[in-house]
Structure 1
């Protein structure tokens, strides 16, 4: 068992524990537990998580195990780790990976600056991998730096969209009942076929539920269950809640989970996960411009942009202010920037913005989109005379792409009549909205004309 290297900097500092509430409802909110933690004499409970990540991804039909498949050029498991790291009261996260993937996992931890991660060697089956993770937390393995938690969360490495709310609910329920797990309504009816392939039993869908992750247990309950279970259970079993019931005689509390607990299983699920991630990081746009520039075209352009990006927060920032925001931002970061250059071809504002982004860690986890918008009066200076300086975007984009910053250029003719200018502004807004939503690396460095 080895401890992962801590990252250089992360937006949220880890916390060691969760407040314990006497008589707390499983659905207790984060604010309720935070308030209890602040009360004098309130007891805290230590929480850890175990992620089995030793699967080979047979059902996905790709050579790379699904937990290491890239989404926006970042391994799927990294998103799951990030989701757990956001929850500061999870003290330790133990990941079980195969020996051949141990090096790759270490690289992921280092590259994406994951913290609180410990690695153990996965077993041949899912249950054996989980058992190895529990052994590490129980100090049953040599050289462990971990301490035994009171509650342990078991979660799949390929369920990247788990939120703190559902984690909190299963932990609170496990503290009260000994075991808890998230469930979801069945989408399809479950049937049992006979030996000759004919229908034998059809279950009433309304009375049954699909067992999902995360699940949580009092550590002693689930650890003792694994210590007692048979080789058959370890080899062919999949349901941790069943082991707690069978060997520790603990009935799990079932917690209704949200729709986004689904598991990445098939190749099409990778595209669905990418779509969700793109949508989540496209909900804020920061517009950067020098306050000395003419704001009239910018105001019209922002109105057009708001019409294209419904329910998107658009904020205008001066370069220095944008830099401070980048340095001080935490989990609610903006990954989309529009740099306004009015009647200028030296990219002054864009250069400042790119320099700030390079110095920050913003692009480590997600690709950052930067659109450099240029308003030119083509009646005064023909576009052909501007092209030489505008080619700077292409060269800079190559370097920025190495840092996961996607740079694009957009040109708008400011010398047009009012009606044509409004149409160009609308077209420009459509182009920017598309660049932000799609995040296509194929168009990086392109000079687009609205």
Structure 2
């Protein structure tokens, strides 16, 4: 994890269309479709004082990518969301513009925020109706979702429920159970009283509103509201008499607030990326056996594994399939020439799979008893390092594994267990310092 630097890019991923029927949720909100566009406003003008960093937390980098880009992508990948407005402080406009461009956030536009959260949100809403923003050519949405730029793990299910409830009731918001009991202190800092935790909930994001309702509420806001207010749901209740439908949200709605939250967020991202792997083998019997044995072992670790067997001359046919599955881990098993592996890397890089997240590519070499020992092929380790160095610039992390293949079942099983453990660790850690290394298992 590091602060802002050079940024790659990534096209949008497909997602389920909003206009579909879903199953009723536990709280009675049905995922019905509705007519009218949906937009998102992301206030991102905070300075991150509680984190104690010189760079605002929304621009801190996780896996070489700014946190705010993860949040934007969570919305852009959903087809029924038509536009995302990021509201930033004036001094960060150029940085935000570079992020939008380099990560190919095609649905996203920016505007300058105000000195407080409510002023920034009002500016973001005004983009759709104020004459001074007309060059944006944005359609006024029927429903607008307001979310925090530093809550990157929002999923389509909760967004669908919140947006649908807002369409039906005028306003809706996510809530979570309180983790700690709320207490009140007296003037001498002694306990005065406590609240019964089971009767209260924490207000979270996302929140959604009929656009005309929330915009009307902001037009009626007082200076006190703009200066000290924080709760959008309270504004529509006070000024539009609109009661918000409250929906229980998932645990992943937590907000990156403190420095340790950055490490937790990065760990969750790595965990998610490591869950799927495509194992590609050549047609040799040993490679096929290793591939299917590895699949069984990785599946015991609750991983989704697919094995594809093909000659390397046809390997390009595998890549679009892997891309459609959003698998950011590929294991290639077989003693083919490095040139053929280079062609696979080229196909991966050109498929746009690596423009958002770093891709892990593990090259597994098989050492057979009757073959020339791999250790005597002095050019191979240096060639792997050269290959990995070039691939690293394309956001592909290349690692090498050397597996001793033997007919002794006990020794072979030990090698397979080591290969499984090391492969999983490489996919989980995504340690760029180890790229180009040949690990013997």
TM-score normalised according to structure 1 size: 0.88
Match of 1:206 in 2: 198
- State the alpha-carbon separation in 1 of the partners of residues 121 and 64 from structure 2: 28
Query: What 5-or-longer segments of structure 1 have no aligned partner?
Result: 1-6, 34-42
Alignment of 1:353-432 (within 5 A): 353-377=344-368, 380-414=371-405, 417-432=408-423
- Distance in 2, matches of 1:386 and 1:164, equals 51
Q: Distance in 2 between matches of 1:325 and 1:133?
A: 43
Distance 1:107 1:378 in 2: 54
2:14 is aligned to 12
Question: Is residue 2:428 matched to residue 1:437?
Answer: yes
Q: 2:86 aligns with which of 88, 95, 109?
A: 95
Cross-structure match for 1:306: 296
Distance in 2, matches of 1:44 and 1:20, equals 13
Q: 8 Å contact 1:20–1:44 — kept in the other structure?
A: no
Show the counterpart of 1:113: 104
Which residue of 1 is the match for residue 183 of structure 2?
191
Structure 2 counterpart of 1:63: 54
User: 1:442 Cα deviation (Å)?
Assistant: 1.5
1:220, CA displacement in angstroms? 1.0
Alpha-carbon distance in structure 2 between the residues aligned to 1:48 and 1:26: 24
Cα distance 1:238–1:314, how it changes in 2: closer, same or farther (>3 A)?
same
Aligned to 1:228: 220
| Conservation of the 8 A alpha-carbon contact between 1:339 and 1:370 | yes
Give the deviation of 1:189 after TM superposition: 0.6
CA contact (8 A) 2:280 2:291 kept: no
Answer yes or no: is the 8 Å Cα contact 2:279–2:291 preserved in 1: no
Unaligned runs of 5+ in 2: 1-8
Please give the alpha-carbon distance, in whole angstroms, between the structure 2 residues aligned to 1:419 and 1:76: 46
In the aligned structure 1, how far is the partner of 2:291 from the partner of 2:10?
39
CA distance in 2, matches of 1:404, 1:390: 21
Q: Residue 382 and residue 175 in structure 1: after superposition, are their counterparts in 2 closer, same or farther (change >3 A)?
A: closer
In 1, the alpha carbon distance for the partners of 2:324 and 2:222 equals 43
Pairwise CA distance, 1:169: 0.8
Deviation at 1:401, TM superposition (A): 1.0
Q: Distance in 2 between matches of 1:77 and 1:323?
A: 33
Q: Provide Cα deviations, 1:370-391, integer angstroms capped at 9, x if missing partner.
A: 0111012365423342131231
Aligned length: 427
- Alignment partner, residue 288 of structure 1: 280
Cα displacement (A) at 1:394 = 0.7
Deviation at 1:196, TM superposition (A): 1.9
What SS does structure 2 have at the residue aligned with 1:141? helix
1:323 alignment partner in structure 2: 316
- Over 3 Å counting, the alpha-carbon distance change for 1:287 and 1:14 in structure 2 is closer
Q: Which deviates further from its counterpart, 413-422 or 256-265? A: 413-422
Scaled by the length of structure 2, what TM-score is found?
A: 0.90
Indicate conservation of the 8 Å contact 1:14/1:85, yes or no.
no
Q: CA–CA distance in 1 between the matches of 2:404 and 2:321?
A: 36
* Contact 1:50 1:130 (8 Å CA) reproduced: yes
Q: Deviations over 1:24-48 (max 9, x none)?
A: 996323xx53xxxxxxxxx622111
Distance 2:177 2:199 in 1: 9
Tell me, in whole angstroms, the C-alpha distance in 2 between the residues paired with 1:275 and 1:220.
39
Structure 1 residues 214 and 184: alpha-carbon distance in aligned structure 2, compared to 1, 3 A threshold: same
Match of 1:215 among 207, 216, 223: 207
User: What displacement does 1:253 show?
Assistant: 0.8
Q: SS where residue 265 of structure 1 aligns?
A: coil
For 2:36, the equivalent position in structure 1 comes to 45
RMSD: 2.5
Judged with a 3 Å threshold, the aligned counterparts in structure 2 of structure 1 residues 328 and 301 are, in CA distance, closer, same or farther, namely: closer
